[in-house]
Chains A and B, each alone.
Chain A
Amino acid sequence: MEEELRALLRDLDALKQRPDPAAIDRMRERVAGMVTPVAVAAGAAARSKIKDMSAEVVDSNPYSRLMALQRMGIVDNYERIRDYSVAIVGIGGVGSVAAEMLTRCGIGRLLLYDYDTVGMTKTDAAVQTLSGINPDVALESYSLNITTVKGFETFLGSLKARSSDGHNTGVDLVLSCVDNYEARMVVNQACNELGQTWMESGVSEDAVSGHIQLLVPGETACFACAPPLVVASGVDERTLKREGVCAASLPTTMGVVAGLLVQNALKYLLKFGQVSPYLGYNSLKDYFPTMEMKPNPQCSNPACVQRQKEYMQLKPARDAAAKAKMEAEASAADECPVHLDNDWNIRQVIPHDCIVVDDSDTATPSILSTGTDSLPEGLVRELPNADSYQEPVAPVTSGAIDDDDLEELQRQLDALNSS
């Protein structure tokens, strides 16, 4: 390169003495030959697809450290991650980070949902970035608003659909990374209807706390079983200045919550460690409350109640399987007693703030929770329960005049609007 540049410099000096268009053309060609064309440069940066994950430590293998999890005995079979499909709803501060983490982990297939645009659709932009990071991941982009009827039907259909290679049926896990209650209720609706396990994530409006939650339809509380929980930031609501602002946001809090979410998702998919049913994060105090919630038999969501019935029906089979597993483990433990000596005086610490909140009796207060309805310290209900049906204070519209038809009512409103 250096030598060629020196030659070019000599030729340029010669050109200064005697202008020669032909010489300029030849020089242009030489320079063009020295720079790598843009398309080639981009292609060289992105590696080609890798067929099998291997533990071999070579430059060309990006998976060796991940596969080391298997060698160390943390994960039984890391490579199974390529068989899994995960749907991420909401590609904002939490969702985009979660998508990148799963992509780097080598997840098999990612389905991305968002309605927003950033020049191009947010989901297409994410696909572009992620395929550059790891071309082995099958990426699907869905630019739609899941809270509308039309968007919802497409969302449901895509969760049920097989992937293009026919390898997976539907998805293994849905991650909700949306930033509002309305959209969470929609993900809840879809997952209850499909019996689809999902994980919820959220960051508080003051951006200093967050949470993740595992939801297994029929087995755990669904998002509509009880009013949503929030981690109390410890900041007095009365001193919180809300004038002129809607919600704050902090990339670090969103990054931590995304990390907690994907860690829980990996534990769930690859079956290692303990999957957290609920994990809160208070960043001001670095406090992490945990809890579990049983489903509410009087849940307002009919699909949730249906899944609860099915779960109850399968109880005998589940109990038998659990008993057989325990017996097998007991006989295995007899053969090799572990760590009888404890030189380091290490004992297991049982987290004191892990309690079970059973919401099955619905005598829960209908006022906004003050954190006293048997919730762990630091967790509060974000919304109140719906009031039980009392005699309405204003006349209820249904009843006497119910024979009106819809078109007639529409005409009445139109007439009023144009008067």
Chain B
Amino acid sequence: MEGWDKGTKSVVGEIPLLSTRAGPRDGEAWRQRLKEEYRALIAYTSVNKSKDNDWFRISAANPEGTRWEGSCWYVHNLRRYEFPLQFDIPVAYPQVAPEIELPTLDGKTHKMYRGGKICLTVHFKPLWAKNCPRFGIAHALCLGLAPWLAAEVPILVDSGMVKHKDDEAAPADAAAASGSAAAS
């Protein structure tokens, strides 16, 4: 597992692996897969809480379990920066990973594709492909989103692109900042 720090490697080992190869169009098999997703997310959230490293909330936003919404946060210089988090389970899941979106950061960083989808490291997709179908949503958060936040939030904050909610800019400045959120 080249490309991840020791902490991430040890935590990902504590997330239960999944076994059902099923996507959102696979009926009963998808329900089985969803149960595995929940068990993995429950275990991962518990581990995070026990290590005092709780950093996201996520839950299914529709009964089919194809749309997920929540939030994630990162602490930088002792201040907490929180962002809405969302993704759809793609038709080709689990062969392809979900594309995690942080819509409020769209246009604020180069490390993002159209629509606020985070741009993962070159190491993520190969590892996901190797581990199909054993990796699930929890693994995508742990190996994809967590390292992205750790790398990008400090840059976004230090460059002034992201402001802490306690010292939001005056309306005029806020408008100027959001004006830069143009499509690529």
Contact check: which of B15, B19, B38, B91 meets A149 at CB < 8 Å? B91
Flag whether B169 is at the interface (Cβ < 8 A).
Answer: no
Q: How many residues of B contact A (CB 8 A)?
A: 57
Report B15-36 residues with CB < 8 Å from chain A CB. 15-21, 24-25, 31-32, 34-36
Flag whether A116 is at the interface (Cβ < 8 A).
Answer: yes
Q: Is the CB of A149 within 8 A of B40?
A: no
Flag whether B41 is at the interface (Cβ < 8 A).
Answer: yes
Q: Is the CB of B91 within 8 A of A148?
A: yes
How far, in whole Å, are A397 and B34 apart by their CA atoms in the complex? 11
Q: Is the CB of A384 within 8 A of B126?
A: yes
Query: When each residue 48-68 of chain B gets 1 if its CB lies under 8 Å from chain A and 0 otherwise, what string results?
Result: 010000000101100010100
Flag whether B154 is at the interface (Cβ < 8 A).
Answer: no
Q: Is the CB of B99 within 8 A of A182?
A: yes
How far, in whole Å, are A385 and B126 apart by their CA atoms in the complex? 9
Instruction: Report chain B residues within 8 Å CB of A188.
Output: 92
Contact check: which of B19, B35, B111 meets A244 at CB < 8 Å? B111
B95 to chain A, nearest CB (A): 6
Report A375-398 residues with CB < 8 Å from chain B CB. 383-387, 392-398
How far, in whole Å, are A182 and B120 apart by their CA atoms in the complex? 13
Q: Is the CB of B66 within 8 A of A149?
A: yes
Flag whether A368 is at the interface (Cβ < 8 A).
Answer: yes
Q: Is the CB of B38 within 8 A of A394?
A: no
Q: How many residues of A contact B (CB 8 A)?
A: 53
Instruction: Report chain B residues within 8 Å CB of A291.
Output: none
Flag whether B130 is at the interface (Cβ < 8 A).
Answer: yes
Flag whether A147 is at the interface (Cβ < 8 A).
Answer: yes
A182-B96, A406-B31, A406-B34 are known contacts. Are A394 and B57 too (CB-CB below 8 A)?
no
Q: Is the CB of B119 within 8 A of A246?
A: yes
Report A222-273 residues with CB < 8 Å from chain B CB. 224, 227, 237, 242, 244-247
Report A400-419 residues with CB < 8 Å from chain B CB. 401-402, 404, 406, 409-410, 412-414, 416-417, 419
How far, in whole Å, are A404 and B15 apart by their CA atoms in the complex? 18
Instruction: Report chain B residues within 8 Å CB of A383.
Output: 125-126, 129
How far, in whole Å, are A147 and B122 apart by their CA atoms in the complex? 22
How far, in whole Å, are A245 and B151 apart by their CA atoms in the complex? 12
Question: A147-B88, A412-B42 are known contacts; what are 18 more A-B pairs with Cβ within 8 Å?
Answer: A116-B183, A146-B91, A148-B91, A149-B25, A149-B89, A182-B90, A185-B95, A386-B129, A394-B14, A398-B18, A398-B19, A398-B36, A406-B31, A406-B35, A410-B59, A413-B45, A414-B59, A416-B45
Q: What are 8 sample pairs from A and B whose C-beta atoms fall under 8 A apart?
A: A148-B91, A180-B99, A185-B95, A366-B130, A385-B129, A397-B36, A406-B34, A409-B35
